[in-house]
Amino acid sequence: MILSRPLQDILSGCNEAPSLSPLSGLILKRLNMSPRALQKTCSLGSASRDPSPGLSEEAPVSSTSPFASANAQPTPLSSPLLVPRLKKDTEQQIVGDEDSAPDASDDLSPATNPIPPPTISLLSPRATQMEGCIRICEEKHRAKAKMELSLRQELQEKLVASVASRESEQLKRFEELMELKQRQEDQSMRDMMDRETQESIGRQEKLKEEHKNRIKILNLRLREAEQQRLREVEFERQRQVEGRERLRALNAIQEEILQLNQLLEPAAPTQSGPSPDLTSYSTRANQLCSQVSEVVRMTAEGEFPSVEDMTVAERALHEMRSLIRVMQEAAAQAQEKRKKEQEEEEKRRKMAMLQAQQEEQKKSAALSAKEKARKKGLQTKAEQSTLKWYRELQDSANQCAQSFEGLNNTKDIQTKKLRMELQKAATIPVSQISSISGSKLREIFDKIDKLLSGRSVVSGGKSVSTSQHPNGLDFVSYKLAEKFVKQGEEEVASHHEAAFPIAVVASGVWELHPKVGDLILAHLHKKCPYAVPHYPPMKDGTSVEEYQKILGYRVEDGGVEAQDSFLKRMSGMIRLYAAIIQLRWPYGSKQGPDPHGLNNGWRWLAQMLNMEPLADVTATLLFDFLEVCGNALMKQYQVQFWKLILLIQEEYLPRIEAVTSQGQAGSVTRLKQFLESSLRSRQIPPPKGQLSSHFWRS
């Protein structure tokens, strides 16, 4: 801690042995100035003086020593009357003369005090005791003063430190403020210089741009002048070229018009008929030739024909071509008309002969059927040609099944997965067929067609194609045909209207992929032999259950299915077949023949009537077939169809009634009512569920 010099002197005086203060001279001076007080003090001291001879000597007090020794006699400064005043003067002197302590000490030094100290006598024991108390008190006051001085010193130091710190911070802020002002001034000066620099650069750039623009304008004018000169040169050259081209074109037009005029010369009459009159065409052609020749003559020597001249010549050429075209069309129309008349005459003659032959054949077939039914009775089995066709279809289906037997019996996991995906891709679209909308039906057909064509289709979120396996196409075709027949067996049996959307898709697939159509027939004949029609005989060694399966019954562990269920399934399949033979896919080419048309329905109906009726089965199938296909057969065969309906009512229906028991009369009654209603109104209504043109636009 750094102390001021007066404070250091005070502390050093406190740490040393007690001695008189340097201010004693001032005190003595003041005492000399007051002799009354000094005399009083001396008298008090002499009244209590000890008469001991050892202490009678005066102890001279030097004005240069601060305090007397502890064993010396007490001086008048130790008097109780002088102590408070001494302390007070000392404190005032210390407080008032902190900064001028060196000067005060110089003024109060002993050298400047010529007054000798007064003679102080020794005090009595009581006075000595009092002096001791006074000294103890002085020590206490001195300690207290020292403590207060230390506190004041610390306070002063803190105050000085605080003031110094504050002044230092203020000085720093002032310096920072001055630096900030200086930086701001420098920055403003730099900004001003930058602005002036930018302005000067801008002026220079502007001058440069103006100079460049003037240069560009001059260059553009020069280029435009050069281009104008080149254009004029090119225009003159082009005019020469175009003039020569127009001259050549004019000559070519005149040549072509003259050649076309020769085509309008009247031709000699032929044996096929008189030629059309071409006089008006020839007259107009001669006028056009004269017009073009006039244009050619008007062209001066060395000059080229103008655009107007070429327009006139081209218009004349165009009109001449139109004349030739109209003349040729008239001649062609006349020739075509004569040809069509001849063809129509030939066609009418052939159609008359064909209709006569068909009428004769149908009459003979109806008469032979009547005679055969009347004389010999009806057949119990199908004709040989029908049976041969039936066996060929079954053999083809069996061969197809054998071709993918390896795919069915494979143990490879990937091949099994492929088989399942192919089966799903083939059967799921058929299950989705409905009469909701034509667009949906077309999507299903396109998906089936893509699958059968070997292209990839998406099934169950996976892409699959028949080309992924060598026998994939046979497998898909077989499963697809099987699914179509199953839909007739189940869906059509429950909902008769469903026959038409399923049938139209099957017919479209049949037309594009004939193999699928043959497989559909094979599956249909296997599950419903009456669709051939064929009544399989019971062979030797065949069990009853096996024979019932051949007839189309379902034989399970619980036994043979009920007759109603059997008839319902047969009805559904016959309805599907009757719908297929009268429908054709509307978006097909329709150029070739129908893959399995109405003639097969007429064949089935005729062969059905040539066979002995079966109880309950024949009546049911005839009613279902005629209800679905009767309207189409009526429109196609007209009179012959009504003869066949009349034959059923008059001759075949009694045979059905003869083999029908009382419990099976429901199907016979429905057939009888249908025949009577149709013959009475001479009309068979369209079947329910038939697809209209509005359906295909939905």
Q: Which residues contact 605 (CB under 8 A, 6 or more apart)?
A: 625, 633, 644
Neighbours of 290 (CB within 10 A): 10
* pLDDT band at residue 539 using 50, 70 and 90 as cut-offs: confident
Q: Of 585, 674, 589, which Cα lies nearest the Cα of 627?
A: 674
Q: Is the pLDDT of residue 383 over 60?
A: yes
Q: Which pLDDT score is estimated for 367? A: 55
Q: Which pLDDT score is estimated for 317? A: 82
Which SS3 state, helix, strand or coil, does residue 116 take? coil
Q: What is the mean pLDDT of the chain?
A: 78
Cα atoms in the 13 Å half-sphere on the side-chain side of 668: 18
CA angle 256, 259, 264 (to 5 degrees): 125
Q: Is the pLDDT of residue 270 over 50?
A: no
Eight-state DSSP code of residue 393: H
Q: Which residues contact 63 (CB under 8 A, 6 or more apart)?
A: 24, 25, 28, 110, 113, 116, 117
Q: Is the pLDDT of residue 120 over 60?
A: no
Inter-residue contact 495 to 431 (CB < 8 Å):
no
CA angle 249, 255, 257 (to 5 degrees): 100
Tens digits of residue pLDDT in 29-71: 665 554 444 444 434 444 334 433 333 333 333 333 333 333 3
CA–CA separation, 575 and 487 (whole Å): 11
CA–CA separation, 294 and 286 (whole Å): 12
CA–CA separation, 311 and 314 (whole Å): 5
Instruction: Write the single-letter amino acid at 671.
Output: L
Average pLDDT of 258-284? 62
CA–CA separation, 381 and 390 (whole Å): 13
* pLDDT band at residue 515 using 50, 70 and 90 as cut-offs: very high
Which SS3 state, helix, strand or coil, does residue 563 take? helix
For 520, counting Cβ atoms within 10 Å of its Cβ (0-12 exposed, 13-18 middle, 19+ buried), the class is buried
CA–CA separation, 152 and 173 (whole Å): 31
Tens digits of residue pLDDT in 174-190: 999 999 999 999 999 99
| Tokens (6 digits) for 91 | 């404190």
CA–CA separation, 244 and 239 (whole Å): 8
Task: Encode burial over 205-216: b for 16+ CB neighbours within 10 A, e otherwise.
Answer: eeeeeeeeeeee
Residue with the larger pLDDT of the pair 111 and 316: 316
Instruction: Write the single-letter amino acid at 154.
Output: E
Q: Is the pLDDT of residue 619 over 80?
A: yes
Q: Of 286, 292, 281, which Cα lies nearest the Cα of 255?
A: 292
Tens digits of residue pLDDT in 298-350: 765 566 777 787 888 888 888 888 888 888 787 788 888 888 888 888 777 77
Q: Which pLDDT score is estimated for 622? A: 93
Q: Which pLDDT score is estimated for 591? A: 66
* pLDDT band at residue 520 using 50, 70 and 90 as cut-offs: very high
CA–CA separation, 152 and 266 (whole Å): 153
Eight-state DSSP code of residue 685: P
Look up the CATH architecture of domain 384-596. Alpha Horseshoe (1.25)
Tens digits of residue pLDDT in 63-80: 333 333 333 333 333 344
- φ, ψ (nearest 5 deg) of residue 19: -155, 170
Q: Is the pLDDT of residue 466 over 80?
A: yes
Average pLDDT of 536-552? 84
Terminal CA-CA length for the chain: 111
Max avg pLDDT among 148-152, 315-319, 366-370: 148-152
| Domain limits, the chain | 384-596
Cα atoms in the 13 Å half-sphere on the side-chain side of 500: 19
Q: Is the pLDDT of residue 598 over 70?
A: yes
Q: Which pLDDT score is estimated for 58? A: 35
Helices 514-527/563-582 angle, 10° precision:
160
Helix (H) or strand (E) holding 218: helix 125-263
Across 23-27, 488-492, 537-541, 614-618, least confident range: 23-27
Residue with the larger pLDDT of the pair 375 and 168: 168
Q: Which pLDDT score is estimated for 105? A: 39
Across 177-181, 246-250, 667-671, least confident range: 246-250
Inter-residue contact 671 to 619 (CB < 8 Å):
yes
Tens digits of residue pLDDT in 413-456: 888 888 899 999 999 999 889 888 888 999 999 999 999 988 98
Average pLDDT of 565-575? 93
CA–CA separation, 283 and 293 (whole Å): 16
Q: Is the pLDDT of residue 570 over 90?
A: yes
Q: Which pLDDT score is estimated for 241? A: 83
Instruction: Write the single-letter amino acid at 691.
Output: L
CA angle 231, 235, 237 (to 5 degrees): 120
Q: Of 24, 30, 4, 22, which Cα lies nearest the Cα of 77?
A: 24
Q: Which pLDDT score is estimated for 23? A: 60
Q: Which pLDDT score is estimated for 32? A: 57
Tracing tokens 């560009």 back to the chain, one arrives at 216
Neighbours of 482 (CB within 10 A): 21
